[in-house]
Amino acid sequence: MSELPPGWSSVAIREIGDVRLGRQRSPDRATGPHMRPYMRAANVTWNGISLHDVKEMDFSPQEFEGFALRPGDVLVGEASGSRLEVGKSAVWRGEVPGACFQNTLIRVRVNEAALPEYLQRHLAYDARRGALADISRGIGIHHIGAAGLADWQISLAPLREQKRIADKLDALLARVDACRLRLDRVPAILKRFRQSVLAAATNGELTREWREQRGIDGEWPVTDLESVARDFSYGSAAKSSRVGNVPVLRMGNIQDGLLDWGDLVFTSDSAEIAKYKLSDGDVLFNRTNSPELVGKTAVFRGEREAIYAGYLIRVRCSDALLPEYLNYCLGGPAGREYCWQVKSDGVSQSNINARKLAAFTFGLPSVEEQQAIIGRVAELLALNVTLGAKSGRARGLVERLTPAALAKAFRGELVPQDPSDEPAEELLSRIRTRPAFLDDAGKPRRDGGARDSRTKARTDTNMLTRKDVTPALLSIILKERGALTAEALWTASQLEIDDFYDQLKDEESRGLLRESRGDSPTSQRLLEAAA
């Protein structure tokens, strides 16, 4: 890694926590006497834990102890088909009581050298820039592996600075997420705006003032399309190719009332070109498509020589009907509603034939008013396009904010350093010299851990549970005997190891006892009663 800020250390994840791959799922454990909900890679998202489609399988009591999740565990996606999804992570907050984890996830249970939120943000930074994918293996599916993750090096800040970084990132990324949510709503807003403009254009509201200024009274006459159109023709059914002399416009080339000249196919058949050649002002109607898209339209304006394919109908307007106005009528709310009502539905496609298209009725103003409508709609829809482009650029900027903030955070540039913070290496040194019977959080191991002869001997005696003792048992023992190591306190309590752990945690949370440290980094860690 590059040079780190003062007090930071480059460490492997195995030094700051316990790394474990989840339990392999087998078909014969789909049912059983000890069913438990379990998390898998699909339940981990960039924004936290998803509880969609939580599954269950049988975990024996012994397995449950090894694979049970605790609040603060960092869950990391072990495998993904996408390079930039490898190592996606989230902090478990106890969303589902009694949940375990499956082998598409790796669990990291941090010790006191690191905060879960700090590690998760660091892993998000590494995953988003593709660094974790660099250590993955496999073809098609990228696997990190628990050993690979355990060996992964991170930049570890002093513990207090980790808290400042995590808090700052939470605040920044919450604002980024809020921005993203607002931008996500923009396309729907712009779509509604476009439909509102077309509705006003084709029901007379858009040019009401225009008519009043000219003293024009009365409603528009209503006509059917057949009365003001000269031709309804189906397009070419011949096979097209990726190369050729003339493009063949298809239903995919009609987008939002306009022609999109991307993704073209071509023909060089002179007979087809002569028969289906488009002229300036031809309106193209998509007669076959999904139920939501059937009936979309666009006007050909002679941009280049072209013909049209069989799923389109070409409409040629009379002098009383301007093509753009017809495009607005068919693309507006009334036109879309008409198409929805008259379409014929197949298995996955809907169809509107030329006869039904010709029967479409709409209000028809004078050609002069149609021209005024076309001019005003063009201005408003140009504004719509501009807003859409600005929204797209803003979305691009927002998407760059998260990786930029994460990069600053783990270069030590997001929050100021405090010289009084204990360097990360000093805390790590104490952890490395910790007695084996303590777990990675400095507590007595819930699974018994590495036990000495006295510990083993105790398994043969009758132990107490929390319901057998006073709620302040441990602090009372410490007041009587003075500061003790965690092992000595456990021995004195005569509690089962799990009950001792829970009692210790409870009394710490109530401020009845605390940890004391000597001046030396290697001095033994003791527990004492609070003053």
* CATH number of the structural domain spanning residue 80: 3.90.220.20
Within this chain, do residues 373 and 445 fall inside the same structural domain, yes or no?
no
Query: Is 427 a domain residue?
Result: no
Within this chain, do residues 136 and 192 fall inside the same structural domain, yes or no?
no
Query: Is 276 a domain residue?
Result: yes
Give the pLDDT confidence score for residue 521 in this predicted structure: 45
Query: Is 90 a domain residue?
Result: yes
Within this chain, do residues 371 and 360 fall inside the same structural domain, yes or no?
no
pTM higher than 0.85 for the full model? no
How far apart are the C-alpha atoms of 407 and 190, rounded to whole Å?
Answer: 34
Question: Which stretches of 204-291 are DSSP H helices?
Answer: 208-213, 270-276
Tell me how many domains the chain contains.
4
Residue 336 vs residues 234, 291, 307, 312, 332: alpha-carbon distances, Å: 20, 11, 25, 16, 6
Give the pLDDT confidence score for residue 33 in this predicted structure: 87
Give the pLDDT confidence score for residue 501 in this predicted structure: 81
Render pLDDT for 375-390 as a digit per residue (tens, 0 to 9): 999 999 999 999 999 9
Query: Is 167 a domain residue?
Result: yes
Which of 119, 137, 156 is the endpoint of a domain? Answer: 156
Within this chain, do residues 288 and 381 fall inside the same structural domain, yes or no?
no
Query: Is 32 a domain residue?
Result: yes
Within this chain, do residues 350 and 300 fall inside the same structural domain, yes or no?
yes
Counting Cα atoms < 13 Å in the Cβ hemisphere of 21 gives: 14
How far apart are the C-alpha atoms of 364 and 135, rounded to whole Å?
Answer: 66
Give the domain range for residue 259: 223-364
Render pLDDT for 446-482 as a digit per residue (tens, 0 to 9): 444 433 333 433 443 456 788 878 888 898 888 877 8
Within this chain, do residues 108 and 41 fall inside the same structural domain, yes or no?
yes
Give the pLDDT confidence score for residue 518 in this predicted structure: 56
Give the pLDDT confidence score for residue 319 in this predicted structure: 97
Name the nearest CA neighbour of 257 among 316, 195, 318, 204. 195
How far apart are the C-alpha atoms of 447 and 437, rounded to whole Å?
Answer: 10
Give the pLDDT confidence score for residue 381 in this predicted structure: 95
Query: Is 3 a domain residue?
Result: no
Q: Which pair of structure tokens corresponds to residue 420? A: 């009084």
How far apart are the C-alpha atoms of 15 and 31, rounded to whole Å?
Answer: 37
Within this chain, do residues 39 and 129 fall inside the same structural domain, yes or no?
yes
Within this chain, do residues 234 and 244 fall inside the same structural domain, yes or no?
yes
Which of 112, 138, 156 is the endpoint of a domain? Answer: 156
Within this chain, do residues 341 and 402 fall inside the same structural domain, yes or no?
no
Give the pLDDT confidence score for residue 2 in this predicted structure: 60
pLDDT 10s digit of each residue in the chain, 531 long?
A: 468 999 999 999 999 999 999 988 766 667 788 899 999 999 999 889 999 899 998 888 888 888 999 999 999 998 887 777 888 999 999 999 999 999 999 999 999 899 999 999 999 999 988 899 888 887 778 888 899 999 999 999 999 999 999 999 999 999 999 999 999 999 999 999 999 999 999 999 999 999 999 999 889 999 999 999 999 999 999 999 999 999 999 999 999 999 999 999 999 999 999 999 999 999 999 999 999 999 999 999 999 999 999 999 999 999 999 999 999 999 999 999 999 999 999 888 999 999 999 999 999 999 999 999 999 999 999 999 999 999 999 999 999 999 999 999 999 999 999 999 999 999 999 888 766 555 555 555 544 443 333 343 344 345 678 887 888 889 888 887 788 888 778 877 878 777 888 888 888 888 999 887 655 444 556 888 987
Within this chain, do residues 109 and 45 fall inside the same structural domain, yes or no?
yes
The answer to whether 101 and 52 have CB atoms below 8 angstroms apart is: no
How far apart are the C-alpha atoms of 287 and 80, rounded to whole Å?
Answer: 41
Q: For position 502, which CATH number holds?
A: 1.10.10.10
Residues linked to residue 249 through DSSP beta bridges, in sequence order: 308
Give me the residue label for tokens 């600075």.
161
Render pLDDT for 338-347 as a digit per residue (tens, 0 to 9): 999 999 998 8
Residue 480 vs residues 396, 422, 475, 483, 529: alpha-carbon distances, Å: 64, 32, 9, 9, 9
How far apart are the C-alpha atoms of 474 and 468, rounded to whole Å?
Answer: 13
**Parallel/antiparallel/unpaired status of strands 79-80 and 142-143:** antiparallel
Q: What is the 3-state composition of the chain as percent helix, strand, coil, each rounded to the nearest 5?
A: 40, 20, 40
Query: Is 318 a domain residue?
Result: yes
**Parallel/antiparallel/unpaired status of strands 307-308 and 246-249:** parallel
How far apart are the C-alpha atoms of 214 and 17, rounded to whole Å?
Answer: 80
3-state SS, residue 221: coil
Within this chain, do residues 383 and 515 fall inside the same structural domain, yes or no?
no
Within this chain, do residues 35 and 91 fall inside the same structural domain, yes or no?
yes
Query: Is 260 a domain residue?
Result: yes
